A and B are shown apart, each in its own frame.
Chain A
Amino acid sequence: SSVLTQSPSVSVAPGQTARVTCGGDNIEHKGVHWYQQKPGQAPLLVIYDATDRPSGIPERFSGSNSGNTATLTISSVEAGDEADFYCHVWDSITDQPVLGGGTKLTVL
Chain B
Amino acid sequence: DVQLVESGGGLVKPGRSLRLSCAASGFTFDDFSVTWIRQVPGKGLEWVGFIRRTPDGGTTEYAASVKGRFTISRDDSKSIAYLHMDSLKTEDTAVYYCTRVDLGYRTFDFWGQGTLVTVSS
- Chain A residues at the B interface, C-beta cutoff of 8 Å: 31, 33, 35, 37, 42-45, 48-49, 54, 84, 86, 88, 90, 94-102
Contacts and interface: CB of A to CB of B under 8 A. Distances in A.
B44 interface: yes
Given A31-B106, A48-B105, A97-B35, A42 B45 contact: no
Contact of B61 (A31, A35, A45, A96): A96
A14 B114 CA distance: 31
Given A42-B112, A42-B113, A97-B50, A86 B45 contact: yes
A99 B45 contact: yes
17 contacts: A31-B105, A31-B106, A42-B97, A43-B97, A45-B107, A45-B108, A48-B105, A54-B109, A84-B44, A97-B47, A97-B50, A97-B108, A98-B47, A99-B45, A99-B47, A101-B44, A102-B44
Contacts of A48: 102, 105, 107, 109
B61 A95 contact: yes
Interface SS, A side: strand
B32 interface: no
Interface of B: 35, 37, 44-47, 50, 61, 63, 97, 102, 105-109, 111-114
A95 B59 CA distance: 12
B108 A33 contact: yes
A97 B35 CA distance: 9
Given A96-B47, A97-B35, A102-B44, A45 B106 contact: no
Contacts of A99: 37, 44-47
Given A31-B105, A42-B97, A97-B108, 7 more contacts: A31-B106, A33-B108, A54-B109, A90-B106, A96-B63, A97-B106, A102-B45
A33 B61 CA distance: 20
B94 to A, nearest CB: 13
Given A86-B44, A99-B46, A102-B45, A44 B111 contact: yes
Nearest to B43: A102
Given A86-B44, A96-B61, A102-B44, A45 B109 contact: yes
